[in-house]
Amino acid sequence: MKGEESREASYWRANLRLLAVLLAIWFAVSFGLGILLVVPLNEIRLGGFPLGFWFSQQGAILVFVVLVLVYALAMDRLERRRPSGQGPDAQGGEGR
Amino acid sequence: MSIQAWTYVIVAATFALYIGIAIWSRVRTTQGFYVAGRGVHPVANGMATGADWMSAASFISMAGLISFMGYDGAIYLMGWTGGYVLLALLLAPYLRKYGKFTIPEFVGDRFYSQTARVVAVVCAIFVSFTYIAGQMRGVGVVFSRFLEVEIDTGVYIGMGIVFLYATLGGMRGITYTQVAQYCVLIVAYLIPAVAISLKMTGSPIPQLGFGGALVEGERAGVFLLEAIDGIHRELGLPEYTAAFVAGKKSMIDVLAITLALMVGTAGLPHVLIRFYTVKSARLARWSVMWALIFIALLYTTAPAVAAFARVNLIQTLHDRPIAEVPAWFTSWEQTGLIRFEDRNGDGRIQYGEDPATRELEIDRDIMVLANPEIAELPAWVVALVAAGGLAAALSTAAGLLLVISSSVSHDLVKSWMGARITDDRELTIARVSAGAAVLVAGYFGINPPDYVAAVVAFAFGLAAASFFPVLVLGVFSKRVTREGAIAGMLVGIAFTAGYILWFKILGYGGPEDWWFGISPEGIGSLGMLINFAVTLAVTAMTPPPPQEVQALVTEIRLPSQDD
């Protein structure tokens, strides 16, 4: 039982680490590039877009989609590696 | 065929489709009524969430709003999409793993308190009603413009349709009609956007045309956004792409509003319950991803449409002799949504910043609805846009109705009467309360409170300041107590509601009196921080939750087995 306990704990820790990284990117792109740094970034051009403006009206949304995709994929892997402790047959995340 | 004939045909066809789906998907159990039997495919649920989320405001008003706001439109674009990251990472999978029927139910169980549940029910019902009034009104407006019936008649027709599929099919009926409605609304949004992008920039992808160069008119060869900035400079308006300059919002306010909308999105009950309908926590994550993709499709197109409309409108109308205006100008003028007054008597339209000399007033709502006409697209496209606006309004209204009916039948009646109530009986109560909610919503649609816009700020602010902190802490902390959660919700709501009431509804004080320069629209983010602080402070002073509640938290954090 002890082993299972720590397996669950390490699953949760891995999840929290992942959340911290993804939320940091979420914050940096939307609030950082899209708002706090928008004025200096607007000096740079991306085609016909001022860069800061592009992040605030296009780029941030695309990054949001990627973040959620990465999280769904990463958690699928994590769950496959660490099925929860309901016996050896439990195959969380396998099949659908 | 005329625009009106096309509109009748397309609207009738889509309504027949929705009713057909309602009859096909009718349900006989509460499990079916509340959570569609939990068998919804994540992609279908993603589409349903998209339609559920994108309201009449997103479809009809948002591009027009951005068109007048320029950079500041980012608050809606990031605010109404960024919340899905929070949903996928912090809430949806855990609420699904918990796996009962409503959000207040989770609050009541996690915080081992009937009081907490009742507070949550009151928030859910209040947030949903403020929202739904706007949807019914939107239905009425679309009907009156395109089918030339009274706004009220439009509201009655909308009520009839929603009544049918919400009471027959519950969540199951709503889910599959929302899938159909998403398809209608996204096609209706993209066709004119692609056509206008092609015409103005030569690119069939609006998101690229947005950053492309104009191919026609006096500014051909100039980048679209540079052209708009140039036009704005000539008219004495702040540049479209500029941020935080005079005439635009301050940085702190943009930050606060964006955060409040993001967090509010993640705390809206009608969005949260959509993720109860998939099979497992794992699929809930995937479902949020699909939802965000489907939403992003519209949300990345909207700012492009806004920019195209800006150039189009000013180039078509500014400095033009009134005798030469295009036909759509006159037909929209009749609705009162465009107003022209030749103040200096020179027979030309002057558009500019100063409201004292500006001769043209344009309602932001017509940008999307008039766009196909401005771009001279065929009549059936105009009709499709009308059907899209109706789909957006009806789908959101239905999702909200379900929250109201399940709150009443499940969280109030069922939890008070306990086991004495049978499943059949509860289902009947759920149907009746959905029906009653339609009537109340219809009443607000016909007699809209004149502060509708202010009330929408309420919905997001309250969701941000009440549900979000409590839900997140409920999952990520085992220590947070019932006393902490209840105190946090009440203080968060009271602060946010008080601030909005003071500045927006009672109208005391102006921007110079705002705390830290945060407008009432953004105050939900401060309310959220206060909620977090109060919850944690009170938690520190009260004994930890009972063992079984801590076990519940451990359980919902574990990966799911059931898919």
Chain B residues in contact with A61 by the CB 8 A cut-off are 77-78, 81, 296, 299-300
Is A55 inside any structural domain? yes
- Are B282 and A47 an interchain contact pair (Cβ–Cβ within 8 Å)? no
Sequence letter at residue A65 = V
Model confidence at B510, pLDDT cuts 50, 70, 90, reads confident
Is-contact A79 B97, C-beta < 8 A? no
Closest approach of chain B CAs to the CA of A88, in angstroms?
13
More confident residue, B503 or B453: B503
Which residue from B74, B283, B554 is facing A56, i.e. has the nearest CB?
A: B74
Q: What is the mean pLDDT of residues B467-494?
A: 93
More confident residue, B301 or B142: B301
Is A94 inside any structural domain? no
Is A88 inside any structural domain? no
β-pairing, B338-340 vs B360-362, is antiparallel
What CA–CA distances, in Å, run from A12 to A15, B89, B218, B266, B281?
Answer: 5, 13, 60, 22, 15
pLDDT at A54: 96
CA distance B32 to B548: 29
pLDDT at A88: 39
- Are B82 and A26 an interchain contact pair (Cβ–Cβ within 8 Å)? yes
Mean pLDDT, chain B, as a whole number? 86
Chain B residues in contact with A92 by the CB 8 A cut-off are 282, 559-561
Nearest to B240 by CA among B170, B185, B311: B311
Residue B452: other Cβ atoms inside 10 A: 13
Closest approach of chain B CAs to the CA of A40, in angstroms?
10
pLDDT tens, B57-103? 788 888 888 988 899 999 999 999 999 999 999 999 999 998 888 88
Q: What angle do CA B192, B335, B310 make, to 5 degrees?
A: 40
- Are A75 and B300 an interchain contact pair (Cβ–Cβ within 8 Å)? no
Residue of chain A minimizing CA distance to B303: A57
pLDDT at A4: 58
Structure tokens at A3: 């082993």
Nearest to B475 by CA among B279, B266, B259, B287: B266
Query: What is the extent of the structural domain holding A59?
Result: 2-81
Is A90 inside any structural domain? no
Model confidence at A81, pLDDT cuts 50, 70, 90, reads confident
CA distance B470 to B493: 12
CA distance B485 to B539: 8
**φ, ψ at B213 (rounded to 5°):** -100, 150
Closest approach of chain A CAs to the CA of B167, in angstroms?
31
Helical pair B423-446 and B151-201, crossing angle rounded to 10 deg: 80
Residue of chain B minimizing CA distance to A49: B211
pLDDT at B129: 80
- Are B561 and A92 an interchain contact pair (Cβ–Cβ within 8 Å)? yes
**Residues in CB range of B233: below 8 A, 6 or more apart:** B239
Chain A residues in contact with B292 by the CB 8 A cut-off are 64-65, 68
pLDDT at A95: 36
* DSSP state letter for B518: -
- Are B78 and A61 an interchain contact pair (Cβ–Cβ within 8 Å)? yes
CA distance B154 to B206: 32
CA distance B197 to B217: 14
pLDDT tens, B412-466? 877 776 667 787 888 888 888 888 888 888 888 787 765 555 566 678 888 899 8
**φ, ψ at B71 (rounded to 5°):** -50, -40
Best to test chain B binding among A6, A8, A41, A56 (most B CBs inside 10 Å): A56
pLDDT tens, B304-323? 999 998 888 888 888 888 88
Q: Would you say residue B23 has pLDDT above 80?
A: yes
Closest approach of chain A CAs to the CA of B224, in angstroms?
7
Which residue from A42, A52, A65 is facing B293, i.e. has the nearest CB?
A: A65
**φ, ψ at B360 (rounded to 5°):** -125, 130
Structure tokens at B33: 């009524």
Query: Which residues, listed in sequence order, are joined to residue B360 by a DSSP beta bridge?
Result: B340
Least confident of A22-26, B229-233, B353-357: B353-357
Is A88 within 8 Å of chain B by CB?
no
pLDDT tens, B513-523? 788 888 888 89
Is-contact B102 B277, C-beta < 8 A? no
pLDDT at A89: 39
Q: What is the mean pLDDT of residues B377-400?
A: 88
More confident residue, B240 or B459: B240
Best to test chain A binding among B255, B558, B562, B563 (most A CBs inside 10 Å): B558
Which residue from A50, A61, A79 is facing B81, i.e. has the nearest CB?
A: A61
- Are B89 and A49 an interchain contact pair (Cβ–Cβ within 8 Å)? no
Closest approach of chain A CAs to the CA of B16, in angstroms?
34
Look up the ipTM and state it: 0.90
Model confidence at B560, pLDDT cuts 50, 70, 90, reads low
What CA–CA distances, in Å, run from B106 to B97, B514, B552?
Answer: 11, 35, 11
Is A44 within 8 Å of chain B by CB?
no
Total number of domains constituting chain A: 1
**φ, ψ at B513 (rounded to 5°):** -95, -5
**pTM: predicted TM-score of the whole model, two decimal places:** 0.90
**Residues in CB range of B175: below 8 A, 6 or more apart:** B25, B36, B40, B44, B45, B48, B277
pLDDT tens, B165-206? 778 878 888 889 999 999 999 999 999 999 999 989 999 999
Residue of chain B minimizing CA distance to A30: B78
Chain A residues in contact with B563 by the CB 8 A cut-off are 95-96
Burial class (CB in 10 A: 0-12, 13-18, 19+), A23: middle
pLDDT at A3: 55
The phi-psi region of residue B202 (left if phi > 0; otherwise alpha if psi is between -120 and 50; otherwise beta) is: left
B424-437 residues labelled b (16+ CB within 10 A) or e (exposed): eebbebbbebbeeb
CA distance B168 to B312: 45
- Are A60 and B73 an interchain contact pair (Cβ–Cβ within 8 Å)? no
pLDDT at A93: 38
Closest approach of chain A CAs to the CA of B562, in angstroms?
8
Closest approach of chain B CAs to the CA of A11, in angstroms?
8
Query: Which residues, listed in sequence order, are joined to residue B339 by a DSSP beta bridge?
Result: B361
Is A76 within 8 Å of chain B by CB?
yes
Is A8 within 8 Å of chain B by CB?
yes
**φ, ψ at B321 (rounded to 5°):** -60, 135
Cβ-Cβ contacts under 8 Å between A and B: the total is: 145
Model confidence at A92, pLDDT cuts 50, 70, 90, reads very low
Is A73 inside any structural domain? yes
Closest approach of chain A CAs to the CA of B50, in angstroms?
14
Is A95 inside any structural domain? no
Best to test chain A binding among B38, B241, B245 (most A CBs inside 10 Å): B241
Walk me through the domains of chain B, giving residue ranges and CATH numbers: 3-557 (1.20.1730.10)
Q: Would you say residue A91 has pLDDT above 90?
A: no
Nearest to B72 by CA among B306, B264, B293: B306
CA distance B407 to B121: 6
Is A34 inside any structural domain? yes
CA distance B423 to B30: 6
CA distance B325 to B262: 41
Q: Cα A85 to the chain's mean position, in Å?
A: 25
Q: What is the mean pLDDT of residues B400-409?
A: 85
pLDDT tens, A34-48? 999 999 999 999 889
Dihedral sign for Cα atoms in the order A34, B290, B459, B15:
positive
